[in-house]
Structure 1
Amino acid sequence: MRIKHMLLATAVLVSVSSFAQKDELKKLKRIYDKDEPSANDLTEYKATLDKLAPLATEEGDKVYYNFYKANKAGLEIAVLGKTPSPADLARIFDPQAVAQLASAYAATLEYEKKTGKKVFTDDINEDINMMKPLLVNVAVSLGDAKKYKEASDVIYAVYLLDKKDQDKLFYAASYAVQGQDLSKALNYYTELKNLNYSGESTIYWATNKETKKEETFSTKAEREIFIKGGTHEKPRDERSQSRKAEIYKNTALILVENGKLDEAKAAIAEARKINPNDSALILTEADLYLKANDPETYKRLINEALENDPTNVDLVYNLGVVSGNANKIEDAEKYYKKALELNPNYFNANLNLAELKLRADEKFVNEMNKLGTSEKDNKRYEVIKAEREKNFKAILPYLEKAVELDPNHTGAKKTLLSVYGALEMTDKAKALKAKM
């Protein structure tokens, strides 16, 4: 008898709990369905969620509890009115809230597909189309504030809401790179490669009437919603270029940062198959070989890039850099001078050419210090001294140009001051010193 009474009591408790769950779910649904919820509705909604939390044990109840919990952020926005500020959006729809919403929506869609009962499926699909532009604006605002990691999290959550919109995964990777979250960026780029994402598509632009800035939309239909809503105007379409090469290039750069040079080489080789004549890609590959201590391959690749773009001053300058690093002074000087022919105001070429010529001074000084006091040595001393002065005079115009181009560059000014001193140009040295 005692066991029977215990089972009966348990059954009653289960029954009461089940009714309680249904009661709470009904309350939440009633508030959720309101077009213009009040602050009191929000308070009741939160209290009802707290009450439902321990009661939601069945699969369906858990799914819908999480759905309503994730939608609390949307209700908070709705209570603020029709035009919440970007600050309010960023505060309420923080990365965690957006991720929770994406997860809850995905679970609800999956559950309703499995059960065949579409309670929220249509609402969710409609909400996704409405919410995505708002959440993208939140991500852009975070990016503008240089909160790149948070921007990446938000835009990735937007991607989770609609995995057909793979552009958002690309932007999430880009923000992660800017935020130096390289592990996450690499994961996103890997996923993009696995999806065979190219980014070639039509971009749908429209101007936000309030901010006067152009914004993008995933589809023409999505943009039309905002045009008709009166918040945007001046629609235009633009065809985007393939992003595959950029994805492989950035993957390679991250792998280099992680010390995985062989994997990086493979990634950049894939990128070059896609776009073999892209100078930026060739330079990236060349840089990999420079980091791998292979200057000859680096130089070959730089020359390859130069064949494609012979007037590219950066390429010519980089040839000077690699030649200088390999201690091939004559080649380095030739490339730096060629860079200055293309652009006389190229600061680094002026400075590096001066530095290159200054290397000879050590040789002059060492030989002068070894000389004795014999007549022969004294004559040799005067010859070396003249050669040294000639070298300083050859350096002078490049250093003066460098300081003219960047008056705040401490290294250039100190080197110029030393050259003035060596040439006994007292007045010029005094004037430069006064500016330091």
Structure 2
Amino acid sequence: MRDTIPAKTLPLYATAEEALKNAIAADAAGENKAIISEAKTSLAQYQLNKGIKDFQAKSYDEAYKAFNNYQTLFPEDTTAIYYTGLAAVQAKNFPAALTNYNKLLPSKFSKKESIYLDMSTIALQQNDTTNALKYASEGVEKFPSNSDLRRREIEISLQTGKAQEVVGKIQAAIANDPKNKTLYYYAGLTYTSFGNSIADEIYKLKKADGGNLKESTLPAFLAKLTPLQTKKDDYMSKAAEMYKKALEIDPNYYEANLNLGYALLSPAIDTYNYANNYLPASKQKEYNATLAKATTMFDAAKPYLLKAVELKPTSADALRNLKNYYLGTRNTTEANAIQKQIDALPK
């Protein structure tokens, strides 16, 4: 809103508002334009101050009314629109919030990135995943480097079974902006999410069929497990490839180091567990070879696990991943030392 005259106390606001309407109607020739403009500004300033006071007092319904009155006087004022939407959110008047935020999208409002995210959040609060995804996707299209919008789009897409569409969008974005490390990171994150979904299926299979396996029932169980494990490993491999591309651009990218370490560590743990859980003593040679393979896989993850801890030494996630590496390579001394670091973290 433009500069205003000092705020005034207007106990008879309705009377003043009616007088302004009458003055505007009577001034068809515009002879009193300056006086009318000053009056509008005074009324708007009063509503703005009232709205702020009500908002600070957490009287959000009243704040919404005040800001909406302010907006009525200056309908193109993006501050008025934003404050009205903000108060509507706090008052849980979500339709009004979305109506006002939508007005900001075609404007030159400086915080449109956060508006798209807020609109997506509002839709989620109403269990409207369709519009939540729509707002997030539109935001990503307008602001492709915004990590919060990108994460929101991926999360909702995964929840609604549209993850493959997100992969296509990210790959298209990478083709247009091949030096954007964040795009590679989110491609990796999406593939990691696919892999984790298969891991959930594997967990269910083991819980249902994996208990008290016998030599006679093991082949049937492995026939179910193997294709799932192959699928999971493939997703983790694709994820690792994307994280590595992000690190080629920025070797100190913490999130990419953390998640690359995990993407390499997860199949190593699976291989280690396979050897110990499903290879009988009669297959000692295969057991030794599988453990050796697991060790090689663990060592491939080690540089990224260490780098993640170096970049963020107080990260519980980074420390847990590194601890799992030491457990997998049977280095209990280092694993115990890392656990002490985890225990020392602020709760």
Shorter-chain TM-score range: 0.5 to 0.7
Q: 1:430 to 1:256 in 2, by over 3 A?
A: closer
* Correspondence 1:337 to 2:248: no
Corresponding residue for 1:198? 106
C-alpha contact (below 8 Å) 2:240/2:260 kept by paired residues? yes
Alpha-carbon distance in 2 for matches of 1:285, 1:430: 39
* Correspondence 1:366 to 2:274: yes
Structure 2 spans left out of the alignment, 5+ residues: 1-7, 28-32, 196-234
C-alpha contact (below 8 Å) 1:289/1:295 kept by paired residues? yes
* SS in structure 2 at match of 1:345: coil
Greater Rg over alpha carbons, structure:
1
Q: 1:248 to 1:71 in 2, by over 3 A?
A: same
Moved more, 406-415 or 104-113: 104-113
CA RMSD of aligned residues (A): 4.4
Alpha-carbon distance in 2 for matches of 1:157, 1:417: 55
Corresponding residue for 1:251? 119
C-alpha contact (below 8 Å) 1:314/1:339 kept by paired residues? yes
Corresponding residue for 1:404? 310
- Shift, 1:393, TM fit: 1.7
Q: 1:242 to 1:324 in 2, by over 3 A?
A: closer
Give the aligned length: 287
Alpha-carbon distance in 2 for matches of 1:291, 1:370: 33
Corresponding residue for 2:183? 315
* Correspondence 1:71 to 2:2: no
Kindly provide the amino acid, as one letter, of the partner of residue 71 in structure 1: L
* Correspondence 1:293 to 2:161: yes
C-alpha contact (below 8 Å) 1:357/1:391 kept by paired residues? yes
Alpha-carbon distance in 2 for matches of 1:164, 1:420: 62
Residues 36-78 of structure 1: per-residue CA shift (max 9 Å, x gap): xxxxxxxxxxxxxxxxxxxxxxxxxxxxxxxx9x724xxxxxx
* Correspondence 1:168 to 2:76: no
Alpha-carbon distance in 2 for matches of 1:421, 1:268: 40
* SS in structure 2 at match of 1:408: coil
Corresponding residue for 1:324? 192
Corresponding residue for 2:262? 355
- Shift, 1:380, TM fit: 1.3
Q: 1:350 to 1:183 in 2, by over 3 A?
A: same
TM-score, normalising length from structure 1?
Answer: 0.53
Alpha-carbon distance in 2 for matches of 1:413, 1:419: 10
* SS in structure 2 at match of 1:407: coil
Q: 1:304 to 1:425 in 2, by over 3 A?
A: same
Corresponding residue for 1:346? 253
Alpha-carbon distance in 2 for matches of 1:309, 1:137: 45
Q: 1:297 to 1:173 in 2, by over 3 A?
A: farther
C-alpha contact (below 8 Å) 2:271/2:294 kept by paired residues? no
C-alpha contact (below 8 Å) 1:106/1:161 kept by paired residues? no
Greater relative contact order, per chain length (Cα 8 Å cut-off, separation 6+):
2
Alpha-carbon distance in 2 for matches of 1:372, 1:242: 61
Alpha-carbon distance in 2 for matches of 1:344, 1:368: 35
Equivalent of 1:383 in 289, 295, 299: 289
Kindly provide the amino acid, as one letter, of the partner of residue 359 in structure 1: S
C-alpha contact (below 8 Å) 1:403/1:412 kept by paired residues? yes
Alpha-carbon distance in 1 for matches of 2:318, 2:178: 29
* SS in structure 2 at match of 1:379: helix
- Shift, 1:132, TM fit: 5.0
Corresponding residue for 2:170? 302
Structure 1 spans left out of the alignment, 5+ residues: 1-67, 73-99, 201-239
* Structure with more strand by fraction: 1
- Shift, 1:318, TM fit: 0.7
Q: 1:372 to 1:322 in 2, by over 3 A?
A: same
* SS in structure 2 at match of 1:326: helix
* SS in structure 2 at match of 1:279: coil
C-alpha contact (below 8 Å) 1:173/1:184 kept by paired residues? no
Corresponding residue for 2:38? 126
Q: Report the identity percentage.
A: 22
Corresponding residue for 1:279? 144
Q: 1:330 to 1:185 in 2, by over 3 A?
A: same
TM-score, normalising length from structure 2?
Answer: 0.64
C-alpha contact (below 8 Å) 1:317/1:335 kept by paired residues? yes
Corresponding residue for 2:96? 187
Alpha-carbon distance in 2 for matches of 1:142, 1:408: 41
C-alpha contact (below 8 Å) 1:302/1:315 kept by paired residues? yes
